[in-house]
Chain A
Amino acid sequence: QSALTQPASVSGSPGQSITISCNGSSSDVGIYNLVSWYQHHPGKAPKLIISEGSKRPSGVSDRFSGSKSGNTASLTISGLQAEDEADYYCCSYTSSNTFVLFGGGTTLTVL
């Protein structure tokens, strides 16, 4: 089972908005609204920032938002801040193996 496809890196300036894509298939992203997104600062525990496609857990900034179109999920971060510089991973339930698939991760650089 192939991993979900994410761009290796994205960048943006403080205050700008960026979008990270997560490409899957009709067996995962396309058929379920079960994509989650994680923020990972190296050496720390990954942090859930979006669940079930677009839900923000308590305490997560509303600058983070999730959406989906067809087989592609997206994470948008608005009003970029220096602290947003991190690795971001998408994850989806897949019916192919009744488990989860992760993306390869995207490194966000705040210029």
Chain B
Amino acid sequence: QVQLQESGPGLVRPSETLSLTCGVSGFSISTDYYYWGWIRQSPGKGLEGIGIMYHNGRAYYNPSLKSRVTISLDTSKNQFSLNLKSVTAADTAVYYCARLPDGGVWFFDYWGQGTRVTVSS
């Protein structure tokens, strides 16, 4: 059973970098044919895709966030991370990690439960 679990600080100061990690169990993130990515939900709003990354470094990002986002995979620990720099209150959200199968199908088949991050001084 594939399971994903987000972790990281619940409070980040404005202008700093938000850093989250997603631990994966039951499946190797270095397996071919799967991307690993992040989605968020701001208060009172819908979901927003942030970005996805393949183990060979191929990545796709939401253009509105691309300049501030870095997603990296640590295959030795079977986890992947999100760094979002220069955060503002608008980045306050529940952040989810998820798996996306390769092959141009563009759906997320497994998700974590989400972690709430507040940007505030």
Contact = CB atoms under 8 A, between A and B. Distances in A.
B46 A99 contact: no
Interface in A5-39: 6, 34, 36, 38
A91 B107 contact: yes
A100 interface: yes
Interface in B38-63: 39, 45-49, 51, 60-63
A89 B46 contact: yes
Nearest to B6: A45
Contacts of A44: 113
A16 B44 CA distance: 28
Interface residues of A, number: 28
B107 to A, nearest CB: 4
Contacts of A70: none
Would you list the 9 A-B pairs with minimal beta carbon distance, nearest first? A36-B107, A104-B46, A102-B47, A93-B106, A51-B107, A45-B111, A100-B49, A105-B46, A97-B63
Interface of A: 1, 3, 6, 34, 36, 38, 43-48, 51-52, 57, 89, 91-93, 97-105
A1 B62 CA distance: 10
Given A34-B105, A48-B108, A102 B63 contact: no
B76 interface: no
A48 B47 contact: no
B114 A99 contact: no
Contacts of A103: 46-47
Given A36-B108, A52-B105, A97-B62, A45 B48 contact: no
B46 A47 contact: no
Nearest to A46: B111
